[in-house]
Structure 1
Amino acid sequence: MSSSSTWLSRLKLQLLIGLDNALGTIKEQKAKYPHQCLKMLELIGFVGGTLDVELALDVLNNALSLETIIIDTRIPFGKHISDPEKKLTAIARARQLETTLPPGIKMVIV
């Protein structure tokens, strides 16, 4: 583990891969060095594709002190991505993640 991330307690990621983030097989991995201090993860631009879900699961499985995960399904950089069906899919995939939450972790879906 990098010494520069040892005390990271909040991580906010803006996902730019959303447009072509297809649904597929989810692969979960355990980190060799779990993160001890991360308390909050915010994923902005979550569309519910395989890459989005794998990223969220990796953090859920490897951040031992995680308290809150915020899934923001709004795409921050483009008005042209306002398809209601894609938004509903993203929310549904985020809700599926809720079923895998370890005890004590709060999820907020926007």
Structure 2
Amino acid sequence: MIVVEGLTDKTRIAPLIAEPVTIICTNGTISATRLEEILLPYEGLDIIVLVDADKSGEQLRKLVKREFPEARHFYINRSYKEVATTPIRILLDVLISANIRVNQLLAEG
């Protein structure tokens, strides 16, 4: 399961993934209670966090680290700022490093 901030992040990475993976949008920074409500149904699954390289992304990351310390965090370069504007090739590399199967046609192209 992948946690992203917004719908544009989800629509950017979803076509890159070649396996059934749930992508959860938090819609930005949220409360600890709301985060638990969103993630509780996925308890026991691998939680992957892929959020923007900005202040709200870092706040969300800190909250996830506190509430779900087992979550794995993956980062985009600060120069891209947002998941939604990160080049496809970079996102593919991040997903591969998270052991997520990616669309081979995109990975090879």
Which TM-score band (shorter chain)? 0.3 to 0.5
Larger Rg, first or second structure (1 or 2): 1
Scaled by the length of structure 1, what TM-score is found?
A: 0.34
Higher helix share: 2
Higher strand share: 1
Scaled by the length of structure 2, what TM-score is found?
A: 0.34
